[in-house]
Structure 1
Amino acid sequence: MILFVWVLSLFGFQAEQRDTVRLQEIEVSAPVFETFGLGKKQLNWDKVALENYQSRSLSELLQEKSPLFIRQYGPGMLGSPNFRGTSAGHTAIFWNGIPINSPSLGQSDLSIIPLAAPDRIDLIFGSDGALLGNEALGGSILLQSQANFQESPTASISQEVGSFGQSATAFQAGFSGEKLAFQTKIYSQKAENDYTFRDLSLPGTPKKTQTHSAFSQKGIQQDIAWKINPSQRLSTSFWYHLADREIQPPMGSDTQDTQEDQSFRLSLEYLKFWDKSRLEVRSGWVRDDQLFNQSFNQTSSFFLSGDWEGDIGKDWKIRLGTRGTHIQGNLSTYSATDQRLETYQFIRFSGLKNINLSLNLRQLLVEQKWQPLLPSLGMDWILNPTFSLKASIARGLKVPTLNDRFWEPGGNPELLPEESWQGETGLRWNKGSFHSELTFFAMDVENWIIWMPKGAIWSPDNIRRVRNTGIEWAGGTEFAIGSTRFKIDLAYNYTKAINRSNSEESPTFWNKQLPYTPLHQAQGGVELIRDGYSFRLSSQYIGQRATTLDHSRIMDPYSLSQLHLNYKKLWLGPVQVPISLRIENLFNKSYQVLYLRPMPGRSIHLNFKIQL
């Protein structure tokens, strides 16, 4: 690693960096995926867009505002993402550039990622192991939080109360001097979740009140940045989170399970700028403690990476890097370690008129065994001021989790990595205030790991072969009538995820849609803004879902609506006091996301914020 950084620093004095912008001796560059992730569908929310979601979780945001299907076990319970028909373990999740998925499970619970913490969230759709690394088969979620220079001192505190014993408090403060910048966030959220529902497991489906579904979570995040001199910067972030939950039982069950999740996350980044190039050195540490009833599990991950980025001539931009990972797992049935090393190189070519091309390569070394080379090729082509075309092809890979390999009894250390190939193409259209984007994708996933019974023991194996194809469309417009502004957005997704024939599963499972993967999803919203007031009505439609591979049970489609009312021009002297009202499940629909997992009816939430 030291030799790698030393060599890159020598190259850095002569290479060029065209996309770097100097702002009062602080250089700012576009994120890596924006520069080199060409041909990919992307979505993002910045700090302003996340402002009305500070009392909520990442799971709730993605349910309302993205084309992802979130498999939700109940309010505040486990929430896992489904990108383009893949599983939760096929989604890579990063915080400040470091992976935060559980090494033992290979996934994250989106319900315990509160939106009071990140400043920006990006979604990258589809396979791209070359650009983002392990686990990025279906898609990736990138969380970013940092202290920024050139900002005035800020401070705010918000308090929300709502139905079913819900409450949330969030505090944020930031300050920037000439050399130092700070940002502190503290949050607390809880809910009793004592809502009523119809118990479908009992004759007559009587009404019952949920009595074992309370949750609470709290945490603190501290971001610090130090401008050492005009060409060097050091930044660090620490995030502590604690969640305590009563695990909601399914209908017909009276289990009293509890779970406590505690996470420690630390990132440290050093940036060195030359006139036209840059060097990044990043380290990170993530520790997750989980207490399920009386069973304790702990995993720790350590990361160290070095990247150099610059321009070669007028038309070429390159990025070279390496990352080492050490994983330690102390689980209830086993202890294990994992060592990984990955090298990567990204290239962007801009020498053709209105066409940008990217070629990315990554190679992983896992426990002294090289994994298949991961390439990706992308293109963005501006056809004219109105239309642009995108296209990409990429390979993805997921290394088997610690549980897959070492669980006692049943773990299988001979498992192969799950692999995918995906191609996508899309057309963007922008005309005045109208915009539209249409994307087609096709993906093959091989060696999909499934746990199957082998005698009295369940064990994982590379069994399933899946083909995913689909269409994603999103569009919208903004316009004004007098002093009232209108925003309209619409989206539709068609996702076909077919289980192909294999030697282990029954033929009755072949050529059928994967469980809990809706074929059709749609979203829409309209917002009115006038004189500090805003009114937004939004809705989501989720189509039928099978609960098993043989499709013996099909769950009904459902639609949900939300109403948001905001007023931002209330001032008490020098203090701004924004007020917002939110109504979820506006029409009080009875629905389930997953079979026999009841969800709440209509709920009302009132939020006050004091902003200096």
Structure 2
Amino acid sequence: MKRFGYILFLMLAVVASVQAQQDTIYDLGEVVVSDSRLYKFSQNLKTETLKDSVLQRNTATLTDLLTFNSLIYFKENGYGMVSSPSFRGTNAAQTAVIWNGININSPINGQVDFNTVMTNAYDAVTIRSGGGSVQYGSGAVGGSVHLENRIAFDEDDSHRYQVRYGSFNTLSYNLRSQLSGKNSYLDAGIDRITSDNDYEYPGTGIRNRNGAFEHLNLSLNTGYKLDDKNTLGFFGMFGDSDRNFSGTLTAPASDKYADKNIRSMLKWTNTGRSYESELRIAYLFERYEYYADHESDRYTFGRQHSAIADYNLDYHISSRIKTSLLLNYTSVSADGSNIGDNNRNTLAVGLMADHTLSEHWKYGINLRQEFLNEFDNPMVFSAYTIYRVLPEYSIKANISRNYRVPTFNDLFWDTGGNEDLEPEHSMQYELGNILNFHPFRFTVNLFYIKAKDMIKWQPDTSGQWVPVNVASATNYGLELRGKYKISIGEHQLHFNASYAYTKAIDNNTDKQLIYVPYHKITGLADYSFRRWNAYYQFLMNGEVYTTTDNSDTVDAYMVANLGINYRFFQRDHGLTLGLRIANIFDKYYENVAYRPMPGRNFQFQLTYNIN
């Protein structure tokens, strides 16, 4: 931790130097975003931001939200159980989750369980497709998911009280208050969901006997504008989850899993005429406990503490050229029943540059190099160009090198860890097309990912499973998305649809990677009239292979949800009553072999908003 202090001192010195050299006042505006890199250096990639009614329409977890509103494929070990994404055919550890600009993938297992993330605590959730290792570090290979809280000095208070009750004795509530003044902001919320989750597997007569779960999430975000140049922000989150683990069609289960997460971050933003300086100091904590028998007191555990200092300096050399300096120091300590007691320190330096050649054409180059940790750290980069061919048509192209470092489980697991592992590397190429004829918008993206040195657990000569850098894969595909929105008097219609074709080949076997569907389709039809709103959303996942030789599969499936809402009173003081019917056609389906998902189920929702 002594090194952490030195790096923090250096960052503070840089900030002070910048502030001393620039004394021109710059208006920060009414809203301060928590993740400026997402908006300033992601124009070359496909991004989709979900907020407002979309966050409220879906149930509370990040899995539920993204299953129907993104092209990410999710593997759930039964509803509400461990949930891991496959983004463009990559695995869960190759998808980064970014909380207010900070990468929160676990250093223990390399991923985030999307069923433990409660979405009601955030102002927006953004899906960023494509490599992002320069901006966000390890794991941002297939793409990244961004959880955003925004600080607003708009003197506009709002309060939301929401209760949901549905099938399987599922009860959730969300309380959130946002108080905004000219120079201060406070956002506090609480989310809780409990469920017996004892659904019947459609058509089998078998019930999910060990699937009960509960999640609690507390959030606190606050900001204070010191003057026209300086803003302080604090972002905090506490999560507590307790889940029994569902069994399969062929084997019952009695185990459970409990985990706690604490995230806190202090952010200082200083802005001048030609620069913006951001310093983040963050602390992350996680602890899990695994019980082989949920009625027993015996468990194994893992725990990690991360201290992060992250500095970003954006400087406009001219109206057409902007640059950004990135410094990040991360110190991680982890211990557990199977990994011992270990530490990792990483220093990262990055430089990003963006040049607007004309009103039609721009390009950028980004670099990142890491130091201090025990690996042979690759220099990663990205380069892109954007050209507006016509006012209604633009084309984008980018190339990037990305990476993922070995996890603590990979390195130190007591019955097979390998401390000689090297980071995974990948090259990614993408071509994007945007066609925008209001009220119609259509995008086409082609991608190609070549990955090597992938970490794979396999048996050694003695039969013991160990991780080694042997796997390589080639992923390529096509993504289509269309939107149409129109108003006719008091009638508002909104349609959108997405399609992804993904080929993900294990180069050693020439077979499709497991749990990567060739096809995924999502769609939404939304209709509003006065105080009424109704929507229909559907999802089609193609067949996936469950074995490396592609001999066994999980069948393709299509499921659909239907919802209707009615708002009483006025918009600024409204009570909304809603009904959501999930899996309205009562389809039997699995997204992991032998682990059925729920049939038709219902959810009633009551929301009271004060604006």
1:153 paired with 2:157, answer yes
Deviations 1:143-188 (A, max 9, x none): 1124421132222211110011111100011112233211100111
Q: What one-letter code is carried by the residue in structure 1 that aligns with 2:577? A: I
1:202 corresponds to: none
* 1:310 Cα offset (Å): 1.5
1:258 corresponds to: 256
User: Given that residues 12 and 277 in structure 1 are in contact (C-alpha distance below 8 angstroms), is that contact kept between their aligned partners in structure 2?
Assistant: no
1:325 corresponds to: 330
In the alignment, the residues of structure 2 paired with residue 539 and residue 49 of structure 1 have an alpha-carbon distance, to the nearest angstrom, of: 14
In the alignment, the residues of structure 2 paired with residue 161 and residue 48 of structure 1 have an alpha-carbon distance, to the nearest angstrom, of: 19
Q: What one-letter code is carried by the residue in structure 2 that aligns with 1:105? A: N
1:554 corresponds to: 553
Deviations 1:259-299 (A, max 9, x none): 11111110110111122212111011111111110112111
| Correspondence list, 1:339-418, <5 A | 339-367=345-373, 369=375, 371-418=377-424
1:79 corresponds to: 83
Q: What one-letter code is carried by the residue in structure 1 that aligns with 2:396? A: K
In the alignment, the residues of structure 1 paired with residue 252 and residue 78 of structure 2 have an alpha-carbon distance, to the nearest angstrom, of: 15
2:459 corresponds to: 453
Q: What one-letter code is carried by the residue in structure 2 that aligns with 1:37? A: S
Gaps of 5+ in 2: 1-6, 292-298
1:186 corresponds to: 190
In the alignment, the residues of structure 2 paired with residue 327 and residue 432 of structure 1 have an alpha-carbon distance, to the nearest angstrom, of: 49
In the alignment, the residues of structure 2 paired with residue 571 and residue 381 of structure 1 have an alpha-carbon distance, to the nearest angstrom, of: 44
In the alignment, the residues of structure 2 paired with residue 520 and residue 29 of structure 1 have an alpha-carbon distance, to the nearest angstrom, of: 34
Deviations 1:98-156 (A, max 9, x none): 12111110000000101122111111112221122111111111111244211322222
The alignment partner of 1:131 has SS state of: helix
User: Given that residues 363 and 370 in structure 1 are in contact (C-alpha distance below 8 angstroms), is that contact kept between their aligned partners in structure 2?
Assistant: no
Match of 1:316 among 308, 314, 321: 321
Shift of the 352–517 alpha-carbon distance from structure 1 to 2, 3 Å rule, reads same
Deviations 1:188-232 (A, max 9, x none): 10111111116xxxxxx8411221100001121011111112211
Deviations 1:379-420 (A, max 9, x none): 121111110001100010111001100110210010010010
1:480 paired with 2:487, answer yes
Shift of the 16–70 alpha-carbon distance from structure 1 to 2, 3 Å rule, reads farther
1:242 corresponds to: 240
1:289 corresponds to: 287
In the alignment, the residues of structure 2 paired with residue 30 and residue 164 of structure 1 have an alpha-carbon distance, to the nearest angstrom, of: 38
Shift of the 67–15 alpha-carbon distance from structure 1 to 2, 3 Å rule, reads farther
Shift of the 8–609 alpha-carbon distance from structure 1 to 2, 3 Å rule, reads closer
Q: What one-letter code is carried by the residue in structure 1 that aligns with 2:381? A: P
1:432 paired with 2:431, answer no
Q: Which deviates more, 169-178 or 44-53?
A: 44-53
User: Given that residues 16 and 312 in structure 1 are in contact (C-alpha distance below 8 angstroms), is that contact kept between their aligned partners in structure 2?
Assistant: no
1:50 paired with 2:48, answer no
User: Given that residues 38 and 392 in structure 1 are in contact (C-alpha distance below 8 angstroms), is that contact kept between their aligned partners in structure 2?
Assistant: no
1:565 corresponds to: 564
1:304 paired with 2:302, answer no
Shift of the 13–385 alpha-carbon distance from structure 1 to 2, 3 Å rule, reads farther
In the alignment, the residues of structure 1 paired with residue 548 and residue 220 of structure 2 have an alpha-carbon distance, to the nearest angstrom, of: 45
Q: Which deviates more, 3-12 or 368-377?
A: 3-12
User: Given that residues 34 and 100 in structure 2 are in contact (C-alpha distance below 8 angstroms), is that contact kept between their aligned partners in structure 1?
Assistant: no
* 1:3 Cα offset (Å): 3.4
What is the aligned length? 594
The alignment partner of 1:551 has SS state of: coil
User: Given that residues 27 and 273 in structure 1 are in contact (C-alpha distance below 8 angstroms), is that contact kept between their aligned partners in structure 2?
Assistant: no
User: Given that residues 197 and 600 in structure 1 are in contact (C-alpha distance below 8 angstroms), is that contact kept between their aligned partners in structure 2?
Assistant: yes
1:111 corresponds to: 115
Deviations 1:521-561 (A, max 9, x none): 11122111111211111111111111011011122110000
In the alignment, the residues of structure 2 paired with residue 176 and residue 402 of structure 1 have an alpha-carbon distance, to the nearest angstrom, of: 42
In the alignment, the residues of structure 2 paired with residue 386 and residue 127 of structure 1 have an alpha-carbon distance, to the nearest angstrom, of: 26
Q: Which deviates more, 6-15 or 352-361?
A: 6-15
The alignment partner of 2:120 has SS state of: coil
| Correspondence list, 1:124-135, <5 A | 124-135=128-139
Q: What one-letter code is carried by the residue in structure 1 that aligns with 2:349? A: T
In the alignment, the residues of structure 2 paired with residue 15 and residue 351 of structure 1 have an alpha-carbon distance, to the nearest angstrom, of: 26
Using structure 2 for the length normalisation, give the TM-score.
Answer: 0.93
1:526 corresponds to: 525
Shift of the 432–240 alpha-carbon distance from structure 1 to 2, 3 Å rule, reads same
* 1:46 Cα offset (Å): 2.6
In the alignment, the residues of structure 1 paired with residue 119 and residue 382 of structure 2 have an alpha-carbon distance, to the nearest angstrom, of: 31
Amino-acid identity (%): 26
Shift of the 545–352 alpha-carbon distance from structure 1 to 2, 3 Å rule, reads same
Deviations 1:34-81 (A, max 9, x none): 32224211111134532333x420001110000110111111111111
In the alignment, the residues of structure 1 paired with residue 62 and residue 459 of structure 2 have an alpha-carbon distance, to the nearest angstrom, of: 34
Match of 1:39 among 35, 44, 56: 44
2:173 corresponds to: 169
User: Given that residues 219 and 242 in structure 1 are in contact (C-alpha distance below 8 angstroms), is that contact kept between their aligned partners in structure 2?
Assistant: yes
Deviations 1:495-542 (A, max 9, x none): 0000102xxxxxxxx111101100011112211111121111111111
User: Given that residues 16 and 311 in structure 1 are in contact (C-alpha distance below 8 angstroms), is that contact kept between their aligned partners in structure 2?
Assistant: no
Shift of the 249–27 alpha-carbon distance from structure 1 to 2, 3 Å rule, reads closer
Match of 1:444 among 450, 475, 499: 450
Q: What one-letter code is carried by the residue in structure 2 that aligns with 1:541? A: M
* 1:347 Cα offset (Å): 0.5
1:577 corresponds to: 575
1:222 corresponds to: 220
The alignment partner of 2:119 has SS state of: coil
Q: What one-letter code is carried by the residue in structure 1 that aligns with 2:436? A: N
Shift of the 38–174 alpha-carbon distance from structure 1 to 2, 3 Å rule, reads closer
* 1:15 Cα offset (Å): 7.4
Shift of the 145–80 alpha-carbon distance from structure 1 to 2, 3 Å rule, reads same
1:70 paired with 2:70, answer no
RMSD: 2.1
* 1:571 Cα offset (Å): 5.7
User: Given that residues 201 and 207 in structure 2 are in contact (C-alpha distance below 8 angstroms), is that contact kept between their aligned partners in structure 1?
Assistant: yes
2:296 corresponds to: none
The alignment partner of 2:64 has SS state of: helix
User: Given that residues 588 and 601 in structure 1 are in contact (C-alpha distance below 8 angstroms), is that contact kept between their aligned partners in structure 2?
Assistant: yes
The alignment partner of 1:578 has SS state of: strand
In the alignment, the residues of structure 2 paired with residue 16 and residue 167 of structure 1 have an alpha-carbon distance, to the nearest angstrom, of: 53
Shift of the 212–161 alpha-carbon distance from structure 1 to 2, 3 Å rule, reads same
The alignment partner of 1:347 has SS state of: strand
The alignment partner of 2:65 has SS state of: helix
Q: What one-letter code is carried by the residue in structure 1 that aligns with 2:300? A: S
The alignment partner of 2:49 has SS state of: strand
The alignment partner of 1:233 has SS state of: strand
